[in-house]
Structure 1
């Protein structure tokens, strides 16, 4: 007999499979003899010198494989050259596109290896001619995988600024306003680096509402921010008297020098068409269809869900409890997507976790407050990229088996939730979801199931 947990994982996996990065590229990139169709646009391959493929992201390996598959071996061998920065556990051999391990698994910060790879990408883009086509493959995680500090700024300087702004509660817009000014790639940097040729970007979105200037910090999107804007953000959030460890003095000096100049963004010499080829909605609809095929009555909670992870977990738990109090013959499924955030508690204790594990743990904490153990319901939350925080899990699920294990081991889920230590809890009770790299990234999927009265 198929368990509720198996059904939840099947529904979640259907969403992940629907945004398989190679599949999305092949659907968007099609070769017809001497013509290349890119999302309906026809580009002649006759007389084309090179197809230069560059980019970065957690989906980069699959996207690159999809490009080689779509183009065919003859074009790949004769015209393609490429370099993609990916997490090191995504590296595999391809025919002509080099996959470069730019950061370790689970460490979503820029590294020296990422800078090295970014230099190679810039060299390729800077070598473009009028007879070249540049395909840029962009997906979530690209910001950390495309580090290229401007002259005078080191990687350590950029890391200090980024960490300070994040700890200070800066919005993603404020963060990007500053780091784009300190980068040779972000904010249209790849586009500005191209002297000639044509550029097309295939984008898999990991951001709510798919803003092109936010996904991977918009390397192919013209940015209208200025150094003065960046200075205003830094002054408002941390102040000019911030210690050197928070905002290195060289950052102030470089931005001040930029602001005293023309203070206008450099205009690119070519244009780029940016095409969204996959997002959370794509995954969500596939999961919904899978749930319906399994006999569930489905309620779509939307693909743009944001908020605090623990609060979303409680909301899903409450939906299940309400459905269980009014049982019907058909099983119920509540499903949504998006990207919640975690409120970090102050603690000196060791902890591990991620936003998806926190969603599931918070749901379990709510259920543990009931007078009787739960039955026939589950909450599962998982990152479509196979990574959830700095852990080897994609997410976690909480159901009656999880609850029984917690009771048997005398574990209090609330104590783990209080210090954001969700991984440790689920590791002990068997609730972790581990997939390894999925080679895609469209945020998260949350699934809550309640068995029907006749189950």
Structure 2
């Protein structure tokens, strides 16, 4: 085994340890305890009289594993026989479970709402609004849940909602402004899923894919009461839309019907709602750190809240590796640099953006910065913990001496690929793609850089 391959394998082991720590089935299974008298979820105990039904609903890239975790936790209990459920997941995450139905709400690698997703969301709304007061509802939410749980408020259609979303995005609206409008024309977002529940207790288990873990942003907060009103959404639309005709009449009619309405007024006082985060990027980062320490590395952790641009983060990681190599870094060799969060790729910088994702662009930018360097004992790995990086079949990318040598030998200059945000074909050509398949979890991205 060459030095380059061994250092990249060690980086991958550390990355996989981080992903394993946020395994969705394990996180849920560990959050639930049951005996003949009570069901305890994240420390919240619910007395059981022996006749309650448990409904499990949800949406997200981790939904399949989370649902399996519920069934595993309930194994052998009488409550499991009174359990049913429906969870919207990507098509490649569907598998048979004994009591919970996993529904393909969108194709793999298409992170957009679909008509199938609307159908699945309607099924969930129907089930959650048919519960009895002594029933229990468990909601499973993870990254990607917003697109997997679309339920436009009639008469707004999915096409109407997508049109408004694209219009606001192209007009420069902030994510907060965009979310305000989207929540006001949805039957589930901004706490409205919880408002539809007719049971006594609703507990939401959340795997966070958002920097800072804000409950109202993760999957657009279907069980988190939103205080905004249609009047605020109207003001946002009026500020960004010069011609009223640009927005479908259905959207105007919903927002103008009751401008003061708020989801805060809609949640039943008879339903106790509990929201609990059970996994996040920090969870993965902590496990990766432990794995690296056990392997003998000095650790530099940059935290879980790194945003910025993907190319910028790639350059920063590359330069930190060089400093450590040259003895000018914060720790001595052998060193492991860990970084979490979710950077962006600004596609507006080129008229015809190519194929790739933010993690592949991190690695491509690092390659360009390290183009003239000796990468012996150095590796930079960046991967999406969900196994999906942009609309591709890769989780991210990996750079070591072998990858760089291959690029030189093939005269593949990363610069034009980086300029066109076309990282996938470049990394594919030089053997720098990281492919894991769907991991059935999602806590943003995890980056591992080693300097030996």
Normalised-by-shorter TM-score class: over 0.9
In the alignment, what sits opposite 2:241? 239
Residues 358-437 of structure 1 mapped to structure 2, 5 A cutoff: 358-368=361-371, 370=372, 372-437=373-438
For the 8 Å contact 1:76–1:95, the answer to whether it is kept is no
**Residues in 1 aligned to 2:63 and 2:194: alpha-carbon distance in whole angstroms:** 19
| Partner secondary structure for residue 153 of structure 1 | coil
Displacement of 1:378 in angstroms is 1.4
Within a 5 Å distance, the mapping from 1:119-130 to structure 2 comes to: 119-130=122-133
Deviation at 1:131, TM superposition (A): 1.6
The answer on whether the counterparts of 2:136 and 2:199 sit within 8 Å (CA) in structure 1 is: no
Q: Distance in 2 between matches of 1:141 and 1:166?
A: 18
Report Cα offsets for 1:262-314 as digits up to 9, x if no partner: 43443211231001101010000000011111111111111111111110110
The aligned runs of 1:294-313 (5 Å cut-off) are 294-313=295-314
Question: What is the rounded CA distance, in whole Å, between the counterparts of 2:107 and 2:139 in structure 1?
Answer: 22
**TM-score, normalised by the number of residues in structure 2:** 0.95
SS across alignment from 1:43: strand
- Shift of the alpha carbon at 1:29? 0.6
Q: Is the deviation greater in 396-405 or in 144-153?
A: 396-405
Unmatched 5+ stretches in structure 1: none
Q: Which residue of 2 aligns with 1:252?
A: 252
Task: Show the counterpart of 1:156.
Answer: 159
Equivalent residue number for residue 267 of structure 2: 268
Q: Secondary structure at the match of 1:180?
A: helix
Deviation of residue 404 (structure 1)? Answer: 1.1
Confirm whether residue 44 of structure 1 aligns to residue 42 of structure 2: no
Structure 2 residue 283 is the aligned partner of structure 1 residue 282? yes
- Between Structure 1 and Structure 2, how many residues are aligned? 444
User: Partners of 1:234 and 1:388 in 2: how far apart?
Assistant: 32
Contact 2:207-2:277 at 8 Å conserved across structures: yes
- How far did 1:162 drift? 1.6
CA–CA distance in structure 2, aligned partners of residues 164 and 271 of structure 1: 37
1:449 and 2:442 are equivalent in the alignment: no
Cα distance in 1 between the residues matched to 2:350 and 2:183: 33
- Over 6 Å off, 4+ runs: none
Cα shift readout 1:97-135 (whole Å, capped 9, x = no counterpart) = 000000011111000000010011001100111120000
The answer (yes or no) to whether the contact 1:379–1:399 under 8 Å persists in 2 is yes
CA distance in 1, matches of 2:386, 2:78: 30
CA displacement at 1:325 relative to structure 2? 1.4
**1:88-237 alignment, distance < 5 Å:** 88-236=91-239
2:322, 2:172 → 1: CA distance?
A: 34
CA contact (8 A) 2:35 2:77 kept: no
Answer yes or no: is 1:35 the counterpart of 2:38: yes
Q: What is the rounded CA distance, in whole Å, between the counterparts of 1:408 and 1:290 in structure 2?
A: 34
Assess, with a 3 A threshold, how the Cα gap between structure 1 residues 308 and 169 changes in structure 2: closer, same or farther: farther
Query: Is the contact between residue 345 and residue 419 of structure 1 (CA under 8 Å) also seen in structure 2?
Result: no
Q: Distance in 1 between matches of 2:262 and 2:115?
A: 29
Structure 2 CA distance for aligned equivalents of residues 45 and 412 of structure 1: 65
Assess if the C-alpha contact under 8 Å between 2:333 and 2:451 holds in 1.
no
Query: Compared with structure 1, are the counterparts of its residues 8 and 43 closer, same or farther at alpha carbon in structure 2 (3 Å cutoff)?
Result: same
Deviation at 1:377, TM superposition (A): 1.0
1:64 aligns with 2:104: no
Q: Deviations over 1:406-428 (max 9, x none)?
A: 11111110110001001111111
Aligned partners of 1:132 and 1:198 also within 8 Å: yes
CA shift for structure 1 position 241: 1.6
Q: TM-score by structure 1 length? A: 0.94
Cα separation, partners in 2 of 1:98 and 1:41, compared to 1, 3 Å: same
Q: Distance in 1 between matches of 2:325 and 2:33?
A: 48
Segment of structure 1 superposing worse, 75-84 or 305-314: 75-84
The structural deviation recorded for 1:231 is 1.5
Higher mean C-alpha displacement, 29-38 vs 352-361: 29-38
